[in-house]
Structure formats: structure tokens, C-alpha cells
Amino acid sequence: MTDLASLAVPFIRLLPPEPAHKLAIKLLALGPFGGKPAADPPSLRINLWGLDFPNPVGLAAGFDKDAEVCDAMLSFGFGFTEAGTVTPRPQPGNPKPRLFRLTEDEAVINRFGFNSKGLAYAAANLAARKGRGGIVGANVGKNRETADDIGDFEQGVTLLAPLVDYVVVNISSPNTPGLRALQRRSTVIALIERLLKARAIAVPQNPPPLIVKIAPDLTEEERADLAEVAVSSGIDGLMIGNTTLARPPELQSRYAHEPGGLSGKPLFQPSTEVLMDMYRLTNGRIPLIGAGGIASGADAYAKIRAGASLVQFYSAMVFRGPGLAATVKSELADLLARDGYATVAEAIGTAVTGKPSPAA
């Protein structure tokens, strides 16, 4: 069934990007097209935060914004999936058009601006699937027009933490004015303090991990500050990273200079460099999730060796369909075996530490 879904991708791509995305969600909501995924090799299993991930390859936020197709996406073999970004109140987001395929560059630019049906809608969907199994996270954000930025995130954590396996705090989208300012040291400390309190109240026993998603466009000073705060604050992990405002000169598409965040292949190298730097700055003391430009098992392996315990992709699926999850996993397992690693965990951060592989 995965092949059937992938075969549909070229036809869906005949539509403009945003209508194509909406059609994909509607089709996936009809049922789990992927069927029951085959069991993953033991080498791909990883236990993190007390959660047993069947494999480290996840679907990034942005595809299933309102938690409408979590189970359908898990059926394609993703080790976990992430709904969102969800805002407290419904909002339409930025004016259309706001999503662009850069086909020549295997990239995407979006300036959605957190279009969301709101917390109540996403919470109802997550509550309806509770107990079905599979690891599902929620990515929370703030409304564009709000008097209390941190209060918006508190609402997201309070309502969704009891319904998911982990919560991501998105303070790094470039498409909501003022959002990235929350990454500043003094502000992010206050944010984390309030959200940890909100989580403790919402889920007093065994609360889900709280992860902060940061941008790939940080200065060296900002990276150092965030690394120090991450290690000392009590959060459970960092996600690196979001889309970038940078425009590499080699981009070929006529949409290359559209405003918004760039994702896909051109983001792979810069996001991996930031990931490696954050692993070095945190001394591997806090789990990292690597996202940005993954389109193959080799890409996933490079992120893991750069310090990621888990990886995510979305943009590559626009061009290759959800069947890419199985391909990435198979290639990753082969690379681990080639280098003599019995588990994913053994390979984490080896490109930073310089530790040779068992097969070296």
C-alpha cells in the first residue's frame, strides 16, 4: 500500500502546493494507506526519555498541522510523528500564496504563519486516538495577535501534554513576527520556567518530554547561550532546526527569493553544522533531534553522527512521497551494519567526538 501512496504523489503534485497538501490530508484521513509496517531491524530501536522508538526516523511538524492523520503517517513506518504547529486560537495564517515548491533545488519555501484550527480541534483529534499506540508528539506555538506570548505556549502545553508522548515548543519559525526573539537568553529562561510549571500541573506523574525547537540561523553567541540554558534549565531536549531565512546562491528555482522559510536539500549542510555545534556545546548531555534536508539514509546517518538521537523530515516527502520513510530506514540500517554499529545509540555524536567506528 505504501507504493500506491507514493504513486499518487506525481498526480497530487499537478495541483498548486497548498491545495495538493490539503488533498493529501483528506486522502490520508480516509484510512492508514501504509497498512501495517514491517518490523524494524533491532539496530534501529532506540530508547529515549523512557520511550521505546522502533526507529529514529520521524515525520516533522508542518505536514499534519491539526493532528488529523497521525495514525495514517505512522502506518508508513515512521518511528514517530509530530502534529502542529498548533496555536491556542484558530487563525488563518498569512495571505496566499504562501507555499512554493523549488523543484530544481529539491526545496520548499513556506510563509504559512501558523495557520491552525486551534488547540481545541487538535486536542479532540489527539484524545480520539489515545491508546492506539505509536509515538506522537505535538508542536505548539503562539497566535500572531496575542498579549502574552508565553501564555500562549502555556495553553498549548497544558492542554496537549496529557494527550501526547512529547511536546515541542516552536520558538523558531521565521513567519510569525517576534517569535524568534523568544530564543534570546533572558526570554527563553522565563519561557522554560513557566512551561515546566505548566507541564507539572497538567501531568504530575511521568510528564512527557519538553523539547525546544531552535532556528538554524543562530549566531555563535546565541548558540552558546541556548546550549547553556538547555543543559541547566531542566528541558528534555533541543530540536535543530527550523527553516532558514538564508538563500544559498546556488538555488535555481524562480521561487528562490520568495519571502519565508527555506527547507529541503539546501538546508541539510547548514542545519547539520548547527546540530554538530550544539552537540559539542552541550557535551552530549541533552538529547538532540536533527531536522533539515534529510532525503536519504545517508542524510539521516550524518545527522546521527553529528549528535542527533532522533531525526525528522518533511520536505523530501513532497517530492518522493511517504514511502521515503521505509527507504531512509533501510539505508540507515545498512550504514550502521557497514560501520559495525549494533545500535543507533552507538553512532550518536561520533563525527563530533572522533570516535572510530567498530569496523574502522
| Residues designated as active site | 173
Q: Which of these, 192, 191, 139, lies nearest to 169 by C-alpha position? A: 139
- 286 phi, psi to nearest 5 deg: -140, 135
Radius of gyration of the chain (CA): 19
- Cα distance between residue 278 and residue 21, in whole Å: 33
Between the alpha carbon of residue 180 and those of residues 176, 184, 214, 318, the distances in Å are 8, 8, 8, 26
Q: Tell me how far CA of residue 96 lies from CA of 16, 19, 99, 110, 199, in angstroms.
A: 11, 11, 8, 10, 35
Cis bond upstream, residue 90 (ω within 30)? no
Cα separation, 269 vs 235, whole angstroms: 26
What DSSP string runs through 1-44? -HHHHHHHHHHHTTS-HHHHHHHHHHHHTT--TT-SPPPPPGGG
Alpha helices in 130-267 (DSSP H): 149-160, 185-202, 220-233
**Based on the number of CB atoms within 10 Å of its own CB, is 252 exposed (0-12), middle (13-18) or buried (19 or more)?**
exposed
CA distances for 116 relative to 90, 139, 141, 146, 304, angstroms: 5, 11, 10, 15, 31
- Helix residue ranges, H only, the chain: 2-12, 17-28, 70-74, 119-129, 149-160, 185-202, 220-233, 268-282, 297-305, 315-320, 324-338, 344-347, 350-353
Cell numbers given for 156:
498549548
For residue 65, what is its C-alpha cell?
498541522
* Bond into 282 cis (ω within 30): no
237 three-class SS: strand
